A and B are shown apart, each in its own frame.
Chain A
Amino acid sequence: MRDRGGHGAARRDAFLLAICAGLALIALAMPRVWSASLVASVRRSVLRPLVAIQGRAEQDRTARFSLAAIQFSRDSLAQIVLAGDAVRQENENLRELVGLRARVTRPYVAAEVLHRPTPTDARMLLLGDGQARGIEAFDPVVTAEGLVGYVWNAGPHSAAALTWQHPEFRASAVTGDGRVLGMISPLTSGENGQVVLQLRGVALRDSLALGTLVYTAGLGGVYPRGIPIGSVESMELDVLGFERVYRVLPLVNPGMVTHVIVITTPRDSVFLPLPGASARR
């Protein structure tokens, strides 16, 4: 009788394992659109309290450990703003004289990043704000240093951001002087498995000096022009010899970011001057 009970329990365990593994495999094979809507609906319903609690924890940590740094940067920014007031006024006067429209401003939402202790955390970040504050899918996500990625999907009170470390990340890029265009994608460097970026699609006639800064080109309708991405670290050899491939060291590490800025404006009509362009002139 005991043996039979043992067999029964083993059979039930095997059955449960098969069911659970089958469900997980179905989830793995699910199309991105379906999984995105499923993720969003679970996050805004069942898991909403957990996301809210973690958001509160992030705020507490910022208040506890980063207050001095925030006050310092606020004071520094206040000084910069005061110094820049005269220049801004002068710029507005000049625009009026030339008959240019007022400069386009980009509305944004500052959001906290709710990190998870999983190995894929840096590829997809959970943000503590969502549609209630104007965040929508495909909004660019940046920090003061540069590009992080874009909003993959947004719920009412949280959003998931796909970062440049995700294998599916792509962005059109341009150098500071606007001379060289290419496509940025993630690259796993061979040395220590560190993920960096690669700039592909550069014509063989174009060469870039090491340390050249690369910005978003504004093509493709997701990222506005002029967001810093990284600096050229080295040149890689294209296997087929059709193009130059540059390894780009990103300016932002998504795994260490605590706060981000989500740009919430319509994107493909916004063109900002590249920082290198004025220097060139």
Chain B
Amino acid sequence: MSHVWTGEGPRGRRRSDRLQVGLVILILLAIEFYLRPSLIEGPGMPDFLLLTLVLLAIRTGPGKAAVIGLVLGLVMDVLTPARFGANMLAHVLVGWSAAAGRAVFFPDNLLVNAGLFFLATWVRNLLVLVLAGTSWAALGAEALMWAPLQGLTTAMVGVVIVLLFRDWLAIRIER
């Protein structure tokens, strides 16, 4: 059945894939900049920009993921410029690692995806704090309390996003 011509060539299919991924990114941006702030605020909230980065990173190559990380890091650095460049470097490294890690793990398991979201958030938070010149005591508190909490919420939301949009994001989940 897969050989039946559907009237849509590879180029058309690629374009519709891009549109679907673009739509998911738009939804995540809308949640990040409107829905979440209009409902709840406080430490440990899920980070939808990081989620966007990881979701895109596991679909693309490490180089492109690094570029996406640079752009998203720039957005974060502009919005919270505690140490300009810290978010950029942290997101470049996280994006590149998430994409390169596909060779090591198989992102077709929901738990693996959740673990990836958790780890990405945890590592990103610590990297940003280290680059921003945080003291070791504050780093310990972040590593043990706030970063795991945010990692957990981001992972939970990420799993829901993957389940909802797995076809659009071309993420195959093993049952």
Contact = CB atoms under 8 A, between A and B. Distances in A.
Interface of A: 9, 12-17, 20-21, 23-30, 35-36, 38-39, 42-43, 47, 50-51, 53-54, 56-58, 60-61, 64, 114-121, 123-126, 152, 160, 166-167, 188-190, 192-195, 255-256, 258
A193 B63 contact: no
A36 B42 CA distance: 26
Nearest to B93: A21
B83 A28 contact: yes
Contacts of A195: 138
A16 B128 CA distance: 21
Interface stretch (B104-112, B141-149, B161-169): B141-149
Contacts of B62: 13, 16-17
Contacts of B2: none
B92 interface: yes
Given A28-B83, A28-B131, A160-B81, A188 B137 contact: yes
Nearest to A52: B33
A28 B132 CA distance: 9
A54 B34 contact: yes
B92 A57 contact: no
Interface string B127-138: 011011111011
B4 to A, nearest CB: 29
A193 B34 contact: no
A195 B133 CA distance: 14
B86 A28 contact: yes
Interface stretch (B9-17, B19-27, B68-76): B68-76
A192 B47 contact: no
A28 B89 contact: yes
Nearest to A60: B38
A118 to B, nearest CB: 5
13 contacts: A16-B67, A20-B67, A24-B73, A28-B86, A38-B84, A57-B33, A57-B36, A116-B80, A117-B36, A121-B82, A125-B80, A152-B81, A194-B141
A36 to B, nearest CB: 8
A12 B66 CA distance: 11
